[in-house]
Amino acid sequence: MAVEEEGLRVFQSVKIKIGEAKNIPPYPGPNRMRDCYCTVNLDQEEVFRTKIIEKSLCPFYGEDFYCEIPRSFRHLSFYIFDRDVFRRDSSIGKVAVKKEDLQKYHGKDTWFQLQPVSADSEVQGKVHLELRLSEVITDSGVINHKLATRVLECQGLPIVNGQCDPYAAVSLLGPSRSEAKKTKVKRKTNNPQFEEVFYFEVTRPLSYTKRQFDVEEEDVDKLALRVDLWNASNLKFGDEFLGGVRVPLRALDQAGVHDAWYFLQPRENGGKSVKVEELGSLRLNIVYTEDHVFPSEHYTPLRDLLLQSANVEPVSASTAHTLGEVCREKQEAAIPLVRLFLHYGKIVPFISAIAHAEVNRTQDPNTIFRGNSLTSKCIDETMKLAGMHYLRVTLKPIIDEICAENKSCEIDPVKLKESENLDTNRENLRQYVDRIFNVITTSGVRCPTVMCDIFFSLRESAATRFQVDQDVRYTAVSSFIFLRFFAPSILSPNLFQLRPHHPDPATSRTLTLISKTIQTLGSLAKSKSANFKESYMAAFYDYFNEQKYADAVKNFLDLISTSGKWDQKSIETPIMLKEGFMIKRAQGRNRFGMKNFKKRWFRLTNHEFTYHKTKGEGALCSIPIDNILAVERLEEESFKMKNMFQVIQPERALYIQANNCVEARDWIDILTKVSQCNRKRLSTYHPSAYLNGHWLCCKFSADTAPGCTPCTGGLPANIQLDVDGDRETERIYSLFSTYMTKLIKMQEACGSKSVYDGPEQEEYSTFVIDDPQETYKTLKLIVSAVQTLEQQHTKYKRDKFKKTKIGSQEHPIGDKSFQCYIRQQSESSTYSI
């Protein structure tokens, strides 16, 4: 989700690898072991949770998480929790990384010390204050100075134990002062509007007869205003601290006024004193990306260069191929390139061109497409994007079954447990391999068209290059579909969205053995048993040393490498797209029924959207996809609940609350995509609910009144892919900008090759340059396009810096920005003078 910023769209995303924790403090009991899990939080809002690792003080998680961040945030936080025998969760420690510090750890495996967790330090949100110093003449004619403190509102307060009933406590602090006043409690909202004013006597002038407005400097320096936000709790433990701010009165300007937003801060000296090293540490790899995307016309020169790549002769002189040459990792280049070419329908000719060039450079058919080349990475990325639903419908049912059954499949005699039987385990494993092999080799009809077209191109290039080798037309395709698609997804189903978490060790071992066998079956190698270093695997493979397996593989590869034969849109098999628990409001189908909120299990396929009392039970309600007229957010004020959205049907709307902001965005996106082709989709909707006989948004009394706000859903889109072409071009620009020194070095290499026919210089040997003159021309155009965009970014940053007002709603005063605010105010007053 993009944030609009003066003509720009700003996208935030984060990719996290949660590795392991170590040296977790032992449980204070005879067992001493803990059952720990880790959560990912945007400030205090949990957006992801790992599985529980039982009985360990050094739990290994090995889980990946990626999300588009749909809102502003201050900290990316990670919490380690322990679940006891009574299924109660207690926090052990946390890692909190400030947003501005995320780039320090970009893409690096980093061990973070766990910090103590206390209610006093768990804060988020901001508060709007207005301070005004004024003269007051008493009845006796004495002049006093009073401070009027107006608490206007707060935004983004944390929700504590499912509720937020905030109030503010305001105090004037100074020598022998501690006056405290409170606002009214605002119920069921984390964005309270207070609009309350409190008065404090500040000081008296030295001479009552002297009419002066300025307060004594030494007195002001000693005074500060303290505003603390609290959650009014019904529990016996008292109210919960939500955060506070301390405003020195020297913040007042020359007119005695101060109007600013503040980030709430932790309470000073809050929490118990705990040695950090006693809490352990957590290994993380964080990649935070912030894309500033200009209007589309700014990217035209670079985008045109990229999209012409397939037609450049030789393809090694193209812009897209050059990106792969200068990036440190081919994967960096492949991700945005594939998404861009898919978006513009040019992925097949581009991959065909670079694959044909790579095949012509390959000397041995046995090594075809075995390296981490740009071709391999681009095909990998295309299969992940275009083939994800194909993968789910093919493998997810059997993978789920394997994870649920927990059958023992260990066939290594050394690892066999005393209670296990080797022959039984072999039979269990053989049955699993047979079933997965059959579902794969009979799934060719569902293989996406774009993958079939790419495989057809690979097959033709390989067969033309190595005419003597009859199997190369198969191995060129199997090296991707089996080696890089099916086998890895079996090995790590969580990385391919087939499972929510990394499997437990026993199941992971089973999947490893299955993956090895499937990979070998798909490779069509001449000597199958020789492919295994382990003797027990070679012995197990004898079960599959029959011609029928090789024939099934070849028939499958023939089918999926026949260009354009099958259209996946004609497949009627229901594909499970998303499922999970959410809270829904009764739809009012029963005229006299209670419209309350209940937790339900929701399930979305390409045919229908259903909810159930719990997972696995029959549907309580089924909404055909054709009946979804719009999917939109629901304003929080409707029910005083966050993260709500509405699924609008012909007769009524279904109101749903997701568990967090990321999950709400994901559900809205996938529901919108799957229903975008509906002919009766609405163009307007009501952003608020229909309650008490009228719409809260437009106040119309008729429940059938047409919507008052334009729908946000865009043009019909392919459910498999939602790509922003400008965003991907911006990412490619960013890569070229990062590796500009390599672009210059590549220009030098072209010059060297043009004038020197001898042995290639070592510093230029890493570049593939088939035609120095054409490559140099391309490099010159790339540098020009990148420099033009660089100037646009520099101008934007300069203009934004000039317009940034510290203390505004967009840039609240934080723990380190108060001095910047004072300096900015001083410069502003000097300029005005």
Phi-psi region of 688 (alpha: psi -120 to 50; beta: other; left: phi over 0): beta
Quick one: tokens of 160? Answer: 């504590």
Separation CA 577–CA 592 (nearest Å): 34
Q: What is the pLDDT of residues 508-522, one digit of tens each?
A: 999 999 999 999 999
Whether the per-residue pLDDT at 316 is higher than 80: the answer is yes
CA distances from 136 to 139, 142, 212 (A): 10, 8, 12
Is residue 253 in a domain?
A: yes
Same domain, 606 and 491: no
pLDDT for 824 equals 62
8-state DSSP, 312: S
For 409, residues 6+ apart whose C-beta sits below 8 A from its C-beta are 425, 428, 429, 432, 509, 510, 513, 514
Distance from C-alpha of 206 to C-alpha of 204, rounded to nearest angstrom = 6
Instruction: Clarify whether residues 464 and 390 are in a common domain.
Output: yes
Residues 6+ apart with CB under 8 A from 686: 695, 697, 698, 705, 707, 708, 709
Residue 569: inside a domain? no
Alpha-helical runs (H) found in 524-601: 535-541, 547-560
Report the amino acid identity of residue 651. E
Which residues fall within 8 angstroms of residue 174, CB to CB, at 6 or more apart? Answer: 219, 222, 223, 224
* Sign of the alpha-carbon torsion through 776, 777, 778, 781: positive
Query: Residue 717 falls within a domain, yes or no?
Result: no
CA distance 814 to 819: 10
- 453 in a structural domain: yes
Enclosing domain of residue 498? 377-561
Q: Tell me what the mean pLDDT of segment 725-745 comes to.
A: 94
pLDDT in tens, 29-75: 777 889 999 999 998 889 999 999 989 999 999 899 999 998 888 89
In this structure, the number of other CB atoms found within 10 A of the CB of residue 804 comes to 12
pLDDT at 729: 96
Strand order in the sheet with 45-49: 45-49, 36-42, 75-83, 89-98
CA dihedral over 208, 214, 219, 222, signed as positive or negative = positive
pLDDT band at 623 (very low <50, low <70, confident <90, very high): very high
Tell me whether residue 566 is in a domain.
no
Q: Is residue 413 packed enough to be buried (19+ CB in 10 Å), middle (13-18) or exposed (0-12)?
A: exposed
CATH at 148:
2.60.40.150
Does 157 reside within a domain?
Answer: yes
Residue 128 and residue 153 in contact, taking contact as beta carbons nearer than 8 Å:
yes
Mode of pairing for the β-strands spanning 89-98 and 75-83: antiparallel
Model-wide pTM > 0.85: no
Alpha helices in 103-213 (DSSP H): none
From the centroid of its chain, how far is CA 4? 19
430/522 same-domain check = yes
Element (H, E) at 487: helix 487-491
Count of domains in the chain?
5
Q: Where are the alpha helices (DSSP H) in 387-482?
A: 388-405, 422-441, 449-465, 472-480
How far apart CA 397 and CA 210 sit, in angstroms, is 87
How far apart are alpha carbons 704 and 57 in whole angstroms? 59
Which two structure tokens, joined as six digits, stand for 746? Answer: 């590549």
Task: Output the furthest CA–CA distance in the chain (Å, rounded).
Answer: 112
**End-to-end Cα distance, the chain:** 43
Domain membership of residue 367 (yes or no) is no
Identify whether residues 786 and 704 lie together within a single domain. no
CATH number of the domain at 600, please: 2.30.29.30
Q: Are residues 475 and 530 in the same domain?
A: yes
Look at the alpha carbons of 822, 827, 828, 833 in this order and tell me if their dihedral is positive or negative: positive
- Whether the CB-CB separation of 510 and 403 falls below 8 Å is answered with no
Residue 94 shares a structural domain with residue 9: yes
Q: Are strands 608-612 and 75-83 parallel, antiparallel or unpaired?
A: unpaired
CA neighbor of 173 nearest in space, from 218, 241, 221? 221
Per-residue pLDDT reduced to its tens digit, 160-200: 777 789 999 999 887 666 678 999 999 888 899 999 999 88
- Predicted pLDDT of residue 275: 56
In this structure, are residues 77 and 97 in contact, taking their beta carbons and an 8 Å threshold?
A: yes
Distances (CA, A) of 210 to 20, 205, 214, 369, 454: 69, 8, 11, 90, 89
Tens of pLDDT, residue by residue over 375-396, are: 999 999 999 998 988 999 899 9
Task: Assess if residue 371 is contained within a domain.
Answer: no
CB within 8 A of 32, min separation 6: which ones?
26, 57
Same-domain pairing of 257 and 351: no
CA separation for the pair 550, 521 (Å, rounded): 7
Whether residue 283 sits in one domain with residue 298: no
Least Cα distance to 434 among 536, 549, 351, 345 occurs for: 549
Which of 274-283, 330-339, 361-370, 630-639 bottoms out in mean pLDDT, i.e. has the lowest? 274-283
Separation between Cα atoms, residue 9 and residue 20, nearest integer Å: 35
Which residues does residue 608 pair with via DSSP β-bridges, in sequence order? Answer: 624
* Beta strands per DSSP E along 687-828: 690-691, 694-695, 709-710
Do 693 and 587 belong to one domain? yes
pLDDT at 595: 64
- pLDDT tens digits for range 788-828: 999 999 998 888 888 878 888 888 988 766 666 666 666 55
Q: Are residues 502 and 612 in the same domain?
A: no
Contact 312, 141 (CB under 8 A): no
Please check whether residues 592 and 536 belong to one and the same domain. no
Helix (H) or strand (E) holding 166: strand 166-174
Are 630 and 701 part of one and the same domain?
yes
Are the C-beta atoms of 490 and 511 separated by less than 8 Å? yes
Q: What is the pLDDT of residue 763?
A: 62
In whole angstroms, give the CA distance from residue 121 to residue 256: 32
pLDDT, tens digit, 9 for 90 and up, residues 108-164: 999 999 998 876 677 888 999 999 888 777 677 777 778 899 999 999 888 777 778
Please count the other Cβ atoms lying within 10 Å of the Cβ belonging to residue 234.
7
Beta strands 684-685 and 653-657 are unpaired
